[in-house]
Amino acid sequence: MTKDELKLYRWQKQYIELLKDEIKTLNRKLTSVKSQKINDMPKSQSGKDVADAIIKLMGDIDDRKNKIRNAEQKMRDVEDFIDGVAVIPHRLIMRYRYVEGLKWEEIGAQMTYSERQIRRIHDKIMKDVR
């Protein structure tokens, strides 16, 4: 796993929240469109338009749900990678950095290591992965 893939963990979290908000908005629209259909709209072209709108909204919701599943899988991949780091303090460094989003100096303070030592350990972990 690359540093760039690890860094995406936090972005995936934000992306999932955005997609969940979009799903809520789409569900509100879907409810609104369904209520139009229930209100005995004429069965002419507008009835077909409503049905098409419902189908499109449901497809958009499914699309967002698939994107959430993909993002969650990428997050699990990062977590699995970090959990695979054998030495517990090294695993903590990776978790603090990529899952919690701490800065190097914050990790050092948390673990009572110098920032330089934290970076050295991190670089060794990444080198061993290659």
Q: Which of 88, 87, 86, 117 is nearest to 104 (CA)?
A: 117
Confidence of residue 128 (pLDDT cuts 50, 70, 90): confident
User: Against a cut of 0.95, is the pTM above it?
Assistant: no
**Cβ distance 108 to 115 under 8 Å?**
yes
pLDDT digits (tens, 9 = 90+) for 67-117: 999 999 999 999 999 999 999 999 999 999 999 999 999 999 999 999 999
**Cβ distance 50 to 33 under 8 Å?**
yes
Residue 107, Cβ density class (10 Å: 0-12 exposed, 13-18 middle, ≥19 buried) = buried
Confidence of residue 35 (pLDDT cuts 50, 70, 90): confident
% of the chain exceeding 90 in pLDDT: 77
**Cβ distance 23 to 65 under 8 Å?**
yes
Record the tokens describing residue 90, joined without a space.
Answer: 């090294």
Amino acid 36: pLDDT: 64
Amino acid 48: pLDDT: 74
Amino acid 47: pLDDT: 60
Amino acid 73: pLDDT: 97
Owner of token pair 């909204």:
57
Record the tokens describing residue 35, joined without a space.
Answer: 């209520």
SS3 annotation, 34-64: HHHHHCCCCCCHHHHHHHHHHHHHHHHHHHH
How high is the mean pLDDT of the chain?
90
